[in-house]
Amino acid sequence: MAERTLDGLSITVDVEGALDADVIERFHDLYTVTFAPMAELAVARQVLHREEFVEEMSDPRVMKYVARDPAGEVVGLTTLTRDLRTVPWISPEYFAARYPEHTARNAVFYLGFTLVAPQHRRSHVFQFMIEEVIDRVLAAQGVCGWDVCAYNERVLGFSDMVGALLHAHADCTVTEIDTQSYSVVEMHGPAGG
C-alpha cells in the first residue's frame, strides 16, 4: 500500500487482484459515468460491456491500482497487466517479437485504463496511480504499452501527460509504435451527376 496526502486529503493506493463484488459494482458505476461519453467521441469502442468489465475486475492477472479516500471509498482505478492475453484488442505476438528479452523476463506490461471519480479529477489521484505503475515497470526494467484514442490525445494530451510523468520518474524512451485510421464514405449520388 502506498499513501500520500493530495490536496489536503490522505489517499491510499493498493494493488489488488480480483476485486470483491461490491467494489466491482461501485467501480462499474464510476466507469460508466467516466467512459460513457466516449461512445460518441471515438470510432473504436472505448467502453467495456458490463460482463467484460466484471470479468476484468475479477481476473487476478490484471493488477488493479485502487485509490481510496480516508473513508475507504474508491476514488480511482488503474489497470495494468503482464499477461497481454487479457487485453483483447492488442497482439501479444507484436510485443513478443519486438521485445523478446523483456518477454522472456515477464517484463512486458500493458496499461489498460485509468479513471478518477469526478470530485477528485482536479486532485493528483491520477498522477499518484500512474506513478505507482511507473515504479512497478521501472523495478522490472520493463516495457509498457498503452493506447489512446484521437479524442483523448487532442483534448487531454494524454500521451504527452503520461510521457512527462514517465520522464520525471525514470530514464526512459517513449515511442509511438502504431496508429490506426478510420475512414467513412458518405454517398451523394452517381459520379458525374
Q: What is the DSSP string of 68-96?
A: E-TT--EEEEEEEES-GGG-TTS-HHHHH
C-alpha to C-alpha distance for 122 and 7, rounded to whole angstroms: 9
Cell numbers 452517381 correspond to: 190
Going from the C-alpha of 47 to that of each of 43, 121, 146, 178, the distances in angstroms are 11, 19, 15, 21
3-state secondary structure of 23: helix
Nearest to 144 by CA among 193, 95, 97, 91: 95
- The C-alpha angle 147, 172, 130, rounded to 5 degrees, equals 50
CB under 8 Å to 84, separation ≥6 — which residues? 90, 92, 95, 108, 110
Is 135:129 a contact under the CB 8 Å cutoff? Answer: no
pLDDT, position 45: 75
What is the longest distance spanned by two Cα atoms in the chain? 68
pLDDT, position 193: 61
pLDDT, position 54: 93
Q: From the first residue on, what is the mean pLDDT of each consecutive set of 10 residues in the chain (193 residues)? A: 79 92 87 81 78 93 94 91 93 97 98 88 86 96 90 80 90 89 85 78
Looking at domain 2-169, its CATH class is alpha beta
